[in-house]
Amino acid sequence: MSGFFKSIVRISSFIGKELRELIRRPGAVASLIFGPFLIMAIFGIGYRGYRDPFVTEVVTPADSKLPTDPGYYENLTEGRLNIVRVSHDEQAAIERLRKRQVDFVVAAPNNAAQQLRAGKQSVLHVSWNEVDPVADGLAQVAVNTLVHELNAEIIRQAADEGFKAAAAEGADVEQIPPEVIAEPTKAETQNLAPSKPDVLDFFGPAVFALVLQHLAVTLTALSMVRERLGGQMDRFRVSPLNSMELLIGKYVAYALFSLVISALVAALLVLVLGVPMLGGVLPFAGIVLLLTFASLGVGLLISLIADSERQAVQLSMLVLLASVFFSGFVLPVEEFIQPVRYLAYILPVTHGIDTLQESMLRGGIGDLWMLGALALIGVVLYVGSLLRLRRVLRSAI
Amino acid sequence: MQQPSTPSPSDRPVVELEHVTRRFNGLTAVDDLSLAIPAGAILGVIGPSGSGKTTAVRMATGMLNPTFGEIRVLGEVPARFSRKAREQIAYMPQLFSLYDDLTAGENINFVAGLFGTYWWKRGPVVRRALETVDLWDARDRLARDLSGGMQRRLELACALVHDPTVLFLDEPTAGIDPVLRQSIWSSLRGLADEGRTLLVTTQYVSDAEYCDRVVLLARGHLVAFDEPEALRRRAFGGDVLQVHTERAVDPEMLAGVAHLTSVRQDSPRRLTVVTADAGKSSPAIIETLRQQGVAVASVEEYQPSYDDAFAALVGADERAMQALAGEKTEPGGGA
């Protein structure tokens, strides 16, 4: 029984020591609390959620009867293109595109009417100069919209002329509005999601999960590496402390610290920035606990691999980078091929983002297997760290 | 502090090293080291930097395995210390390895916790340990704000806080001023007098005078292992006497005196004599010279410093090693 109580004493000593060390760095603690909040606030205030329309030059044949008013073309593209000029010299327009003075050049065909009468399609030449794949995709969407709108406009005008001609010859035609002929169907949409989050609300839980993982990983990795390299581990090796006591002390201390930081950041997110928390506090706390447990395991793994503080920081940054790319933070996990998805599922934050968004924005807990995965990652890393630490502490070299 | 029972002379040594060798990638750090420390004794391990002192301590505390040989501390093999044995052992590392962001008091409180000292018992033991090293007034200062000497003392306090039976102290007096060094050795002597066993490494040869026995290491090799005074005698082949005469004297005049090992003439009226027994030789020298018409002004026993003594021992050891190496390289000279 005395052995059990002494274990409690040793563990509590570790917890106290770790927390004291953390509290002795008030600047770091403040940045941990207010840093994520400030980032989210700036993001929420500064992010518009849309891109500026492409700066576009329309080129029409010199002898065509096409309108020369930029506003006419802007209306056709539903604001996706910002028409700054309507000109007649395609080469000059292309040169301006090369110099990136404009984003888009749309050249109208010079024989559209004859082509239509001849039963042939006319070709609209659209050029852009873009290396950003996202902008490239948006340009393609803008072109499709432009072509769709142009086609609809042509059909509408043709139907209108056809009805007028038939009526002039006394034909009894059932009047179908030209707009309906041009666009026979339209969509009426509804979103059944229980909340209507804006961009800030949607990314809030994701940033929170990412920051929580990064915090737990970095603090744990650095703490253990310092002890390994600073000689403290030698003292532990000679003392009666065992690997489980050391590990539990670290886990509990950093879990307590992470939970306090999480509570403060979450309060700021919900109360100040207005991010919804439909699922309530308990499911949120449960997810945070599991995410913290798994993330501490990642930090310990790094600390047992790294040879220096610098390497520990580098590895922590690599985990952060992998998390940004593969966790669903920026790009949906479903857009990756299957083997890469497995990599994503190894990262605690992948499950953290998904379950926190489900909890906060939908009021549920999402896929239960994700919570199970978080627990499994945590347990596997804990057991691995324990075995490794046992070797470090108790094996003479 | 708990008073360890004073062991009877027949008790097994608390620390035993038998023919211990440790090699690192073919380099021998400790070579065939044998020693034993009885309970309640201070063993000083003295040697220059790189002589194998720290390696010996790390093997005795279970951090390193010997390549050859056997080690027992409290009757256990260090690499497989039981928790009970660990609770009785203290280790003070050579380098400062406490927490910069904790105060002196918090550091020592943490170490007390590591050894399972209950919360309600910590106050007095922390205070006693800090007072032993004269750091009680600095208990609220962050460790990083302490001077180098104070950090060493804090390390020592951490080693004392859990009331250990065996202490392995790796250069506890490094960087500490002579006055405080004396005070620390006085504290260590107090611990030994209470029955605790101490293995203390040091680069300060003069620290030998505070030890019960001394191991002199050079290049991982045991040069000498004995009581400090015996080592001093051994360094010069016996007691050293300085003989001052009223007029010029010839060393040959002492040819018939018993127990003399060597006679050296320092000046026309001064001789340095090495004898196996100063007590018997002194009157014989006076009488022999008087019979030959030389009055003796004084005969004084000369106490060479430990620095001189250990330098002599290391020098003799080096010459012996070189001679051995020479024999081995000569044709037909053994393997």
Q: Tell me: the pLDDT tens digits for A354-380? A: 999 999 999 987 788 999 999 999 999
B87, A236: Cβ pair inside 8 Å?
Answer: no
B93, A231: Cβ pair inside 8 Å?
Answer: yes
Helix/strand number for chain A, H first, E second: 15, 4
Residue A393 in tokens: 């502490």
Strand B239-245, strand B27-37: pairing: unpaired
Where does the pLDDT of residue B329 fall: very low under 50, low under 70, confident under 90, or very high at 90 and above?
low
Give the nearest chain A residue to B80 (CA atoms).
A394
B110, A16: Cβ pair inside 8 Å?
Answer: yes
Where does the pLDDT of residue B266 fall: very low under 50, low under 70, confident under 90, or very high at 90 and above?
confident
Residue A53 in tokens: 């329309």
Packing angle of the helix pair B178-193, B148-160 (nearest 10 deg) = 10
Where does the pLDDT of residue B159 fall: very low under 50, low under 70, confident under 90, or very high at 90 and above?
very high
pLDDT score, position B53:
92
3-state helix, strand, coil in chain B (%, to 5): 40, 25, 35
3-state helix, strand, coil in chain A (%, to 5): 70, 5, 25
From chain B, pick out residues whose CB is under 8 angstroms from the CB of A7: 116
For residues B210-218, average pLDDT: 91
pLDDT tens-digit series, residues A67-109: 888 888 888 777 778 999 999 999 999 999 999 999 999 998 8
pLDDT score, position A1:
57
From chain B, pick out residues whose CB is under 8 angstroms from the CB of A239: 86, 111, 114-115
pLDDT score, position A395:
63
Q: Which of the residues A12, A235, A236, A395 would you substitute to probe the B interface, choosing the one with the greatest number of B C-beta atoms within 10 Å?
A: A235
A219 touches chain B (CB under 8 A): no
Three-state DSSP class for residue B237: coil
Among A17, A21, A240, the residue with its CB nearest the CB of B86 is: A240
B120 touches chain A (CB under 8 A): no
* Residue in the structure block whose two tokens are 């700021």: A268
Say yes or no to pLDDT of B6 above 70.
no
DSSP designation for A298 = H
Residue B43 in tokens: 């063993």
Residues of chain A with pLDDT under 50: none
- In sequence order, what DSSP letters do the residues of B40-95 get, joined into one string? T-EEEEE--TTSSHHHHHHHHTTSS--SEEEEEETTB-GGG--HHHHHTEEEE-SS
- Report the DSSP beta bridge partners of residue A87: A59
ipTM above 0.90, yes or no: no
From chain B, pick out residues whose CB is under 8 angstroms from the CB of A236: 114
Any idea of the CA torsion for B151, B156, B158, B162, to the nearest 10 degrees?
A: -170
Three-state DSSP class for residue A250: helix
From chain A, pick out residues whose CB is under 8 angstroms from the CB of B169: none
Q: How far is CA A285 from the centre of its chain?
A: 22
Q: Among the ranges B101-115, B270-284, B289-303, B305-319, which has the highest mean pLDDT value? A: B101-115
Please give the share of chain B, as a percent, with pLDDT higher than 90: 45
B99 touches chain A (CB under 8 A): yes
Distances from the Cα of B93 to the Cα of B63, B98, B156, B206, angstroms: 12, 10, 9, 21
pLDDT tens-digit series, residues B77-130: 998 899 999 999 999 998 888 999 999 999 999 999 999 999 999 999 999 999
Any idea of the CA torsion for A38, A39, A44, A50, to the nearest 10 degrees?
A: 160
Where does the pLDDT of residue B334 fall: very low under 50, low under 70, confident under 90, or very high at 90 and above?
very low
Question: CA-based angle A249:A254:A260, to the nearest 5?
Answer: 130
pLDDT tens-digit series, residues A236-274: 999 999 999 999 999 999 999 988 888 988 998 899 888
- Count the Cβ atoms, other than its own, within 10 Å of residue B316: 15
Phi, psi of A54 (to 5 degrees): -65, 135
* Residue in the structure block whose two tokens are 């002890």: A227
